[in-house]
Chain A
Amino acid sequence: GAGVSQTPSNKVTEKGKYVELRCDPISGHTALYWYRQSLGQGPEFLIYFQGTGAADDSGLPNDRFFAVRPEGSVSTLKIQRTERGDSAVYLCASSQGLGDSGANVLTFGAGSRLTVL
């Protein structure tokens, strides 16, 4: 597609429920990143994929968070047993590859706003 698409744009759920957030990167982009942005803060890194594999998941806060990218394109961020502190905007970004060349600039999606009541 023309940009990074994230769905849903807004999700309200109750504490303890399971949530899935989807990211559709730009076609042909091999690198995909998830970040979390809490109100008034900058984005915090969660995980990044190179192809189908999670190359760095050091930012996932605990084992309630998991992400997959089974075919190397669309990715799903999964949050189990949601807590109020999980409320944030979850951002997805993709790039054509790695490195700092112009072709590898990150393109961010508009985000999925998660509210846990």
Chain B
Amino acid sequence: GNSVTQMEGPVTLSEEAFLTINCTYTATGYPSLFWYVQYPGEGLQLLLKATKADDKGSNKGFEATYRKETTSFHLEKGSVQVSDSAVYFCALRDTGRRALTFGSGTRLQVQP
């Protein structure tokens, strides 16, 4: 079956630090990959996505590259801000299915 594994949190960084949140996946087909973010008190929002191997998704300074050879989709940002503090979820949608499979989430805390 499909699964998504994320690094455990919380991840605590100082403002302007470099961020990496690791995500690896297992899928039976050729999935689309997503990062969702949940800010405190808000609903899940799509942050970025990639639909095929070697695609790079990017948004708000965040990037992730779909690596089929390592089955990974790591989230990176060059310089985090306090406002990036949130829970980040990696997810996949396998070929022919509409359901998303989510990882367990990684809490990011950015200190000023």
Given the contacts A108-B44, A110-B42, A110-B43, A45 and B100 also touching, CB distance less than 8 Å: yes
The reply to whether B103 and A42 contact each other, CB–CB distance below 8 Å, is: yes
Instruction: List which B15-74 residues lie within 8 A (CB) of chain A.
Output: 32, 41-46, 49, 51
The reply to whether B32 and A33 contact each other, CB–CB distance below 8 Å, is: no
Complex formed: what's the CA distance from A111 to B100 in Å?
A: 17
Residues of B within 8 A of A108 (CB): 43-45
Complex formed: what's the CA distance from A100 to B97 in Å?
A: 12
Complex formed: what's the CA distance from A90 to B42 in Å?
A: 14
The reply to whether B43 and A91 contact each other, CB–CB distance below 8 Å, is: yes
The reply to whether A43 and B98 contact each other, CB–CB distance below 8 Å, is: no
The reply to whether A98 and B44 contact each other, CB–CB distance below 8 Å, is: no
The reply to whether A42 and B102 contact each other, CB–CB distance below 8 Å, is: yes
Report the minimum CB–CB distance from B36 to chain A (whole Å): 8
The reply to whether A43 and B97 contact each other, CB–CB distance below 8 Å, is: no
The reply to whether B105 and A42 contact each other, CB–CB distance below 8 Å, is: yes
**Interface residues of A, count at CB 8 A:** 27
Of A42, A56, A109, A111, which contacts B99 at CB under 8 A? A56
Residue-wise, chain A 14-52 has the 8 Å CB interface mask toward B (1 for contact) of 000000000000000001010100001111110010000
Given the contacts A4-B43, A43-B44, A109-B43, A31 and B98 also touching, CB distance less than 8 Å: yes
> Using a CB–CB distance below 8 Å, which chain B residues touch chain A?
4, 32, 41-46, 49, 51, 89, 91, 93, 97-105
> Using a CB–CB distance below 8 Å, which chain A residues touch chain B?
3-4, 31, 33, 35, 40-45, 48, 55-56, 58-59, 91, 93, 98, 100, 105-111
Please name 6 further chain A to chain B contacts, defined as beta carbons within 8 Å, in addition to the given A44-B102, A100-B32, A109-B43, sorted by A numbering: A33-B98, A33-B99, A43-B102, A59-B99, A91-B43, A100-B93
In the complex, 16 of the A-B residue pairs with CB atoms within 8 angstroms, ordered by the A residue number, are: A4-B43, A33-B98, A40-B104, A40-B105, A41-B105, A42-B4, A42-B103, A43-B89, A43-B100, A44-B102, A55-B98, A58-B99, A93-B44, A105-B46, A106-B46, A108-B44
